[in-house]
Amino acid sequence: MTKQDGTNPLVPSDEGDKKGLELGRAQGEALTRTLRHMTDEIAHDGREVQSGEYLVAYAVEEAEGMWVPKGGDLEWTEPDDENAHIEVAVRDAADGRLIPGLKVEATVIDGDGKEIGTHELPFLWHPYLYHYGRNWTLPADGSYTLKVRFEAPTFSRHDEKNGRRFLKGAEVTFDNVKVERGQD
């Protein structure tokens, strides 16, 4: 069995033949382009860092409306007092694909070191970029610290050669996160 720590390239195996691994990398490359579009062109601020086996990215935009499950249906909900939308993408550092099924928590801290709040970021469907996120109420425009934390995923992993991975979660701190409040 090959030791896999998630930062090494995946190797061909019984479960992941060469063609399949190439297709997985192509998914990651497409997601990279999509994520860059969000962080560099759409969001007010965003970036990505590597933390062990993970690539962790954030984007900050104006608060936005969304369809919310309610009573077995979906109900459109506009932001109330919320004035920012913080989204996080967690990806596999080996191939760039999104990691689903995580419990992602974010903490926002203002420039004076005061904690504004900690919230779970649920998984959100988006027309082109699945992510974990939610609307927030932040006190002012400016620079914040964003701490993102998640435990190891609980899903099973295929592949005896490549599957022993994501054994730990991660905590990533982003400093100087620029926020421009508003509602979309």
The CATH architecture of the domain made up of 18-179 is Sandwich (2.60)
Which of 6-15, 115-124, 154-163 has the least mean pLDDT?
6-15
CB 147 within 8 A of CB 132: no
pLDDT at 2: 42
pLDDT at 5: 58
- pTM for the full predicted model: 0.94
30: pLDDT strictly greater than 90: yes
Return the higher-pLDDT residue of 10 and 76.
76
Q: What is the mean pLDDT of residues 157-179?
A: 95
pLDDT at 7: 64
Q: What is the mean pLDDT of residues 84-111?
A: 97
Q: How many other C-beta atoms are found inside a 10 Å radius of the C-beta of residue 148?
A: 24
**Alpha-carbon gap, residue 134 to 142, rounded angstroms:** 19
Question: Degrees (nearest 5) of the Cα angle 152, 153, 158?
Answer: 120
Q: What is the mean pLDDT of residues 164-171?
A: 96
